[in-house]
Amino acid sequence: MCSSKSKLHSATQINGRPVLQPTSNQVPSLEKRNSIKKTGSPKSPITTDNVNSKSFTKSLLSPPVSPKLKSPRPAAVKRGNDPNVLNTSAEKIMTPKKLASLVKKPKNVGVAPCYDSSLIVEAPGSIAAARREHVAIMQEQRKLRIAHYGRTKSAKFEGKVPGLDSFANGDNNDREEKRCSFITPNSDPIYVAYHDEEWGVPVHDDKLLFELLVLTAAQVGSDWTSVLKKRQAFREAFSGFDAEVVAKFTEKKMTSLSANYAIDLSQVRGIVDNSIRILEVKKQFGSFDKYLWGFVNHKPINTQYRSSQKIPVKTSKSEAISKDMVKKGFRFVGPTVIHSFMQAAGLTNDHLITCTRHLQCTALASHQPAVAPAL
């Protein structure tokens, strides 16, 4: 029984381990299969002599060599005596040796090699050629836009420099007074007039202070031009901003005002509530004017800004006033609103120092009599 099994099975070494396989279905060992593939002679048996030979070791280390395939491009044949003339192409093929011959050998050792720029030719459809063409077109167009005095006509310079004829004729209309940079030629005339006549001027009238507080709160989410155009409507709706009259408005009156003057009902109620708070402040400080100007020691704050971008939207002083007014029950008096109110009422002079109104508002503040603080 054992002899029959030994005939049917034989031990084979695979990966260093003995594996029993039938004699009829023996698989060549891994080493044998690899040697067959590499040497290409499956009939030659693998012996210890072959394994130890140098050729066998080299065949295991070297990769299999693929048969040489014919190149799809036929070899170039030289024509005539000129070695550079080929029959496969009309152009010269630049080989590494030929490219090296184009390099100018430096006379000194430390000098870098120089290339002949005339030999570099850009392809017609390359990106560099398209960019050169575009730059050339842009230069030609710019030459056509050049003005007589060598400066391009642009919106930055147009209208800035007056003509020579205006000075010769004595026309000084172009010499307009300088304003803050946020006043532009496209600004609405009502906004320009507000800047030239009211903005930054110290205000001490309680009704006008109440009016400016309402207008400042109303311009949140809008702009000063739109609010100034509705200024007369606000005056009519709130009885000339008389706090004693506005404080007596009933709910029915507030609803009708909201419908007739297109003012938000919550805004109307906030104005009525603020009028009640103003009456309380008058009892405590004597006037709304003394209460507000007491935060700046009854003197306007003169700033020295050269650019409108430097003007802040709120300051520590506006935050302090806002915090105190909120504590007293005022509505719509955030730090940003209060800072805008301080600019409108002249508590701070935020005109740019390049604006003519800066010195004028400072002079107006110095001529006004000082207000004694309330006891």
Domain spans of the chain, in order of start: 189-367
Tell me if residue 296 falls in helix, strand or coil.
helix
**Both tokens assigned to 86:** 């080929």
On the question of pLDDT at 145 being above 80, the answer is no
Q: Which residues are registered as beta bridge partners of 13?
A: 18
Q: Which residues are registered as beta bridge partners of 19?
A: 12
Q: For the residues 100-123, what does the mean pLDDT come to? A: 51
**Both tokens assigned to 324:** 């105190």
Q: Residue 163's closest CA among 173, 176, 178?
A: 173
Report how far residue 200's alpha carbon sits from residue 197's, in angstroms, rounded to the nearest whole number. 9
Q: How far is CA 154 from the centre of its chain?
A: 24
Q: For the residues 157-163, what does the mean pLDDT come to? A: 40
Q: What dihedral do alpha carbons 271, 311, 358, 344 form, nearest 10°?
A: 0
For 264-274, the pLDDT digits (tens) are 999 999 999 99
On the question of pLDDT at 35 being above 60, the answer is no
Tell me if residue 290 falls in helix, strand or coil.
helix
pLDDT at residue 172, as a whole number: 44
For 279-291, the pLDDT digits (tens) are 999 999 999 999 9
pLDDT at residue 126, as a whole number: 73
**Both tokens assigned to 258:** 């909201």
For 36-74, the pLDDT digits (tens) are 555 554 455 555 555 455 555 555 555 555 555 555 555
Q: Which CATH number fits domain 189-367: 3.40.50.740, 3.20.20.150, 3.80.30.20, 1.10.340.30?
A: 1.10.340.30
* Least confident residue range of 56-60, 219-223, 262-266, 355-359: 56-60
On the question of pLDDT at 190 being above 70, the answer is yes
Tell me if residue 14 falls in helix, strand or coil.
strand
On the question of pLDDT at 155 being above 50, the answer is no
On the question of pLDDT at 164 being above 50, the answer is no
pLDDT at residue 272, as a whole number: 97
pLDDT bucket at 148, cuts 50 / 70 / 90:
very low
On the question of pLDDT at 28 being above 60, the answer is no
C-alpha torsion sign, points 214, 219, 224, 226 = negative
pLDDT at residue 205, as a whole number: 96
For 336-346, the pLDDT digits (tens) are 999 999 999 99
Q: For the residues 22-33, what does the mean pLDDT come to? A: 56
